[in-house]
Chains A and B, each alone.
Chain A
């Protein structure tokens, strides 16, 4: 559905900042998250995990555990479907190991018992005989000749011949003549960059409560970004029918992409089926780190040529991503996003998806894009430094605009990169003086955004209020913006709309809350459903006035005759039409079911000031400004919240966070003490500027904002830290040790 052809529409509710509808529940502790559900007769489950990075499972002995009083059932891979194929097979292989443990933390078996303490005790009584295999956890080593083959035959047809079997997918794109482009440059810089894997770090561990009977009918409560996806996948993994399983999404304690994946729900369902009792399964934090989430780690070679006037003549990038022991590292996105902010005649990007003995990577906010920006934008910054050019001017000079050819091929639709760069240039932050020991960095970032399957129902009540059911779990306050859009269309006040995340039995299929799609797609669906209801309301008024339906218009919550020709009737308010709806044709419900295509892409530019302690190597962010295109901000506070949250996660990724594997292939830092996400005292206030370049694919112009905010930070912070330290940092995180070493090697 295209942008409304209503120039200068004056919104009454959209663009304001009302209190979120779930606010009261969340500040009083009564909001129910994944682990907050209890059922009568409930059992507690726990999962046995591999202590080895790579090992053949010779035998699993469960006899001792089964004899422990209170233990009711144990499941292994045998208890799941034998028929799954494709990506579902990968999901099952990750949910419960087959004949091989592929990473430290890989699930081997699970137990259900009358208490969680007994379940944990039972794990200690299970004996697994392993044959330890050689392992590899580093992406470059995993591509090397001597690397152990993690899964023979896993490569698809895209992979050129002669590469190690751990390379399972290959991407190549670009255009122009690279060598001519580099030839035309006054300065060419080429370098290698690395980023470590990070975790989404949501504070709520995965949790679910499952009931499944021998009749194949079940109920599942879980924290997820997409309960319809959970329903479909669990049904496949357990060999039951999709519609026979009803899934309800709990409140979700953070996801950031990590809760688009499925880990424990099929296990709880299998245990429930075996015991015919409800089973609750909650991960602990260590399990979350070892077996869920992380991003890919990367190794990237970038080469960029620039003229003295700042024109970029060519750019090339090779991106190697490991995504754990399963295909799917988002290297094609890393490749496609890398040079997206630049209008380049000559560009080429190559991506490798590499297997290693690490957990299956999961999406994390704009999967693959932040790392690409780190590598590319670091070189752009270095070129600007050496050619003594202003980094924003150079970015403006080469910026992608409507109609220019994207680095990955097609020409751009209306985009807001230039507007972001201009706003950043004019922001007081950009011209503020720096103190001694401080450096400034800027970076742009890009993400595609997504639409996806969406179904929404809006039911009007007799008293003139509206019950809106959406199928996309609310991860960051989206119910508030849904209420705003529905109220705006219906012409009623914000608090007369209640938005519920409906279960899988109530609505048609809704794709996961990912790809920054909720405010775009569920928002568009809400507007459409409200307009559907309005059409029905107008029909009721038309019937009452005995005029054509087309002769009735809807304005500010009233049905009105469209003009003098339609007749002279007193406008009827919504509440009056709904009061009599039972006797004028029945309930009035608006619907929308479709797959909106038209999610506008999004760009951002970040400005960062960082301070580096030359003696300890500690880097600290002292000032941060986010400028990002939101298309149209429905609830500006929650748009700002997405900007600030993305920036903060980027600060963690850039400075502290990393997966540390020992020589034994085991994850060394499986808690928040050693895997340090930013705390309040680490951060400054995060300033935000909302740019609104309307997305032509949404009636109000909305673009998703959730993901793009994490694209520029790694690069912007690295540029600030490098400029403060006086030496280019090429590896993330920029821990004190790495910074000190870089300073030492400089002199």
Chain B
């Protein structure tokens, strides 16, 4: 039997440059349990975001930057921001 996990309703804040790729909004709601889910759900809901997400994004959970990880848990209480992938010199 396959267990269906109920996913958390998450509000994701996009940078405003992505507005035109996400139906004109910088705040979008998706369902996710992990950072990976967030990215998958975003692309499902807004296929135009695929290139940006493939190019590399980081996810900020309550002020902590998750540069790569797809497995960080998230829930409805978290403040979630999408940023361009953090790198450095």
Asked whether A and B interact, the reply is yes
Residues of chain A touching chain B, judged by Cβ–Cβ distance below 8 Å, are 156-158, 160, 170-174, 200, 256-258, 260, 332-333, 336, 348, 350, 362-367, 408-413, 447-453, 514-517, 595, 597-599, 601, 697, 704, 707
Q: Say which residue of B16, B62, B64 sits within 8 Å of A697 (CB atoms).
A: B64
A412 (CB) vs chain B CBs: closest residue = B63
Q: Say which residue of B48, B67, B89 sits within 8 Å of A597 (CB atoms).
A: B67
Q: Does B72 contact A (CB under 8 A)?
A: yes
Q: Are A366 and B69 in contact (CB under 8 A)?
A: no
Q: Does B37 contact A (CB under 8 A)?
A: no
Residues in chain A near residue B20, CB distance under 8 A: 160
Q: Are B89 and A707 in contact (CB under 8 A)?
A: yes
Residues in chain A near residue B5, CB distance under 8 A: none
Instruction: Please measure, in the bound complex, the distance between the C-alpha atom of A581 and the C-alpha atom of B88, giving whole angstroms.
Output: 42
- Listed from nearest, the 5 A-B pairs whose CB atoms lie closest are A257-B89, A515-B88, A363-B89, A172-B17, A413-B63
Q: Are B17 and A158 in contact (CB under 8 A)?
A: yes
A257 (CB) vs chain B CBs: closest residue = B89
In the complex where A410-B79, A412-B63 touch, is A171 in contact with B17 (Cβ < 8 A)?
yes
Instruction: Please measure, in the bound complex, the distance between the C-alpha atom of A601 and the C-alpha atom of B64, giving whole angstroms.
Output: 9
Residues in chain A near residue B18, CB distance under 8 A: 158
Q: Say which residue of B17, B52, B81, B88 sits within 8 Å of A410 (CB atoms).
A: B81
B18 (CB) vs chain A CBs: closest residue = A158
Q: Are A409 and B15 in contact (CB under 8 A)?
A: yes
B60 (CB) vs chain A CBs: closest residue = A410
Contact residues, B36-89 vs A (CB, 8 A):
48, 51-52, 55, 60, 62-69, 72, 79, 81, 83-84, 86-89
Q: Does B21 contact A (CB under 8 A)?
A: yes
B61 (CB) vs chain A CBs: closest residue = A410
Counting contact residues on chain B (CB < 8 A from A), the size range is 20 to 34
Instruction: Please measure, in the bound complex, the distance between the C-alpha atom of A172 and the C-alpha atom of B26, giving whole angstroms.
Output: 11
Q: Say which residue of A260, A363, A364, A597 sits within 8 Å of B68 (CB atoms).
A: A597
In the complex where A409-B60, A410-B79 touch, is A449 in contact with B88 (Cβ < 8 A)?
yes
In the complex where A410-B63, A595-B68 touch, is A448 in contact with B16 (Cβ < 8 A)?
no
In the complex where A409-B60, A412-B63, A450-B67 touch, is A157 in contact with B48 (Cβ < 8 A)?
yes
- Other A-B pairs, 13, CB within 8 Å; known A413-B62, A413-B63: A156-B51, A157-B21, A157-B48, A157-B51, A171-B17, A336-B84, A350-B17, A408-B15, A451-B67, A514-B87, A597-B64, A597-B68, A601-B65
Q: Are B88 and A156 in contact (CB under 8 A)?
A: no
Instruction: Please measure, in the bound complex, the distance between the C-alpha atom of A157 and the C-alpha atom of B52, giving whole angstroms.
Output: 8
Residues in chain A near residue B52, CB distance under 8 A: 156-158
Q: Are B88 and A447 in contact (CB under 8 A)?
A: yes
Residues in chain B near residue A158, CB distance under 8 A: 17-18, 21, 52
Instruction: Please measure, in the bound complex, the distance between the C-alpha atom of A350 and the C-alpha atom of B87, giving whole angstroms.
Output: 19
Instruction: Please measure, in the bound complex, the distance between the C-alpha atom of A332 and the C-alpha atom of B13, giving whole angstroms.
Output: 16
Instruction: Please measure, in the bound complex, the distance between the C-alpha atom of A124 and the C-alpha atom of B17, giving whole angstroms.
Output: 49
Instruction: Please measure, in the bound complex, the distance between the C-alpha atom of A189 and the C-alpha atom of B66, giving whole angstroms.
Output: 36
Q: Are A595 and B69 in contact (CB under 8 A)?
A: yes
Q: Identify which of A333, A365, A453 gathers the most chain B CB atoms within 10 Å of its CB.
A: A333
Give the distance to chain B from A465, nearest Cβ to Cβ, in Å.
Answer: 33
Q: Say which residue of B16, B51, B62, B63 sits within 8 Å of A174 (CB atoms).
A: B16
Q: Are B15 and A363 in contact (CB under 8 A)?
A: no
Residues in chain B near residue A595, CB distance under 8 A: 67-69
Instruction: Please measure, in the bound complex, the distance between the C-alpha atom of A336 and the C-alpha atom of B57, giving whole angstroms.
Output: 14
Residues in chain B near residue A333, CB distance under 8 A: 84
Instruction: Please measure, in the bound complex, the distance between the C-alpha atom of A595 and the C-alpha atom of B18, giving whole angstroms.
Output: 27
Give the distance to chain B from A247, nearest Cβ to Cβ, in Å.
Answer: 20
Residues in chain B near residue A157, CB distance under 8 A: 21, 48, 51-52
Q: Are B64 and A257 in contact (CB under 8 A)?
A: no
Residues in chain A near residue B55, CB distance under 8 A: 156
Instruction: Please measure, in the bound complex, the distance between the C-alpha atom of A171 and the C-alpha atom of B87, giving whole angstroms.
Output: 16
Q: Are B17 and A173 in contact (CB under 8 A)?
A: yes
Give the distance to chain B from A629, nearest Cβ to Cβ, in Å.
Answer: 16
Residues in chain B near residue A171, CB distance under 8 A: 15, 17, 84
In the complex where A158-B52, A597-B68, A597-B72 touch, is A366 in contact with B16 (Cβ < 8 A)?
no
Q: Are B88 and A363 in contact (CB under 8 A)?
A: yes
In the complex where A160-B20, A367-B89, A409-B15 touch, is A336 in contact with B83 (Cβ < 8 A)?
yes
Residues in chain B near residue A200, CB distance under 8 A: 89
Give the distance to chain B from A329, nearest Cβ to Cβ, in Å.
Answer: 12
Could you write out 29 A-B pairs with CB less than 8 Å apart? A171-B15, A172-B15, A172-B16, A172-B19, A173-B17, A200-B89, A257-B89, A336-B83, A348-B16, A409-B83, A410-B60, A410-B63, A411-B79, A412-B63, A413-B62, A413-B63, A448-B65, A450-B67, A450-B87, A451-B67, A452-B68, A514-B88, A515-B87, A515-B89, A597-B66, A597-B72, A599-B65, A601-B65, A707-B88
Give the distance to chain B from A234, nearest Cβ to Cβ, in Å.
Answer: 20
Residues in chain A near residue B64, CB distance under 8 A: 413, 597-598, 697
Give the distance to chain B from A509, nearest Cβ to Cβ, in Å.
Answer: 12
A330 (CB) vs chain B CBs: closest residue = B87
B68 (CB) vs chain A CBs: closest residue = A595
Residues in chain B near residue A517, CB distance under 8 A: 88
Give the distance to chain A from B12, nearest Cβ to Cβ, in Å.
Answer: 11
Q: Are B84 and A332 in contact (CB under 8 A)?
A: yes
Q: Are B89 and A256 in contact (CB under 8 A)?
A: yes
Residues in chain A near residue B62, CB distance under 8 A: 410-411, 413
Give the distance to chain B from A225, nearest Cβ to Cβ, in Å.
Answer: 9
Scan B1-36; emit 1 where CB is below 8 A from any A CB, else 0: 000000000000101111111000000000000000
In the complex where A332-B84, A451-B67 touch, is A514 in contact with B89 (Cβ < 8 A)?
yes
B15 (CB) vs chain A CBs: closest residue = A173
Residues in chain A near residue B13, CB distance under 8 A: 409-410
Instruction: Please measure, in the bound complex, the distance between the C-alpha atom of A409 and the C-alpha atom of B16, giving whole angstroms.
Output: 10
Q: Say which residue of A170, A258, A350, A450 sits within 8 Å of B88 (CB atoms).
A: A450
Residues in chain A near residue B88, CB distance under 8 A: 257, 363, 366-367, 447-450, 514-517, 704, 707
